[in-house]
Amino acid sequence: MSFDLKLEQGDIRIGSNGDIATVENGEKLTQDLLKILTTEIGANSFFPAYGSPITQSMIGRAFDQVFFKSIADSQLRFSVANLQRLQAEQMKNNQVVTAQEQIAAIQSVDVNQNDIDPRFFNINLVVVSKAFRRVPASFSVSL
């Protein structure tokens, strides 16, 4: 079984026992999704293809909302597919990735402009794990 350090708002979480908290299974998949989707593509110099181009390609652009949603949907799906490829690579290298941590399919991608501040877009993504569980990931993008 694989695990990762538990992050909350970019900080490592300490568990109730004083040890560093970890995530696994569905919680790990949610964290993996949020990490790849909120990391600017190219921000990790060791893995320049890791991340999502959504904030870079949309900042300062005055796109029609339908066009924006179409591009955002495409870019988010591309990043999730990249995460699937990374998971397959892990398994090829004999790393254990549980069925609850593996992406089987994208169920939905929903991109909506924030009602209060139109510079923000709320993104709700739901994937289905190979354990047949729905795994949601939600975040906001500021343009």
Coil, helix or strand for 5?
strand
Strand partners, 71: none
Question: What pTM was estimated for this model as a whole?
Answer: 0.86
116 part of a folded domain: yes
Q: What is the CATH number of the domain that holds 38?
A: 3.10.450.40
Q: What is the chain's pLDDT, residue by residue, as a tens digit (143 residues)?
A: 577 888 887 788 888 898 998 888 999 999 999 999 999 998 989 989 899 988 776 655 666 778 888 888 999 999 999 999 999 999 999 999 999 999 999 999 998 888 888 778 899 999 999 999 999 999 988 76
Instruction: Answer yes or no: is 16 within a domain.
Output: no
C-alpha dihedral over 53, 55, 58, 60, to 10 degrees?
A: -140
> CB atoms < 10 A from the CB of 120, how many?
14
Asked whether residue 8 is assigned to any structural domain, the reply reads: no
Domain total of the chain: 1
On whether residue 100 sits in a domain, the answer given is yes
Number of residues that make up the chain: 143
Q: Which range of residues forms the domain containing residue 53?
A: 26-142
Task: Concatenate the DSSP letters of all residues of 94-123 into one string.
Answer: T----TTTSEEEEEEEEEEE-SS-TTEEEE
And the tokens for 118? 């139109």
- How many Cα atoms within 13 Å fall on the side-chain side of residue 70? 5
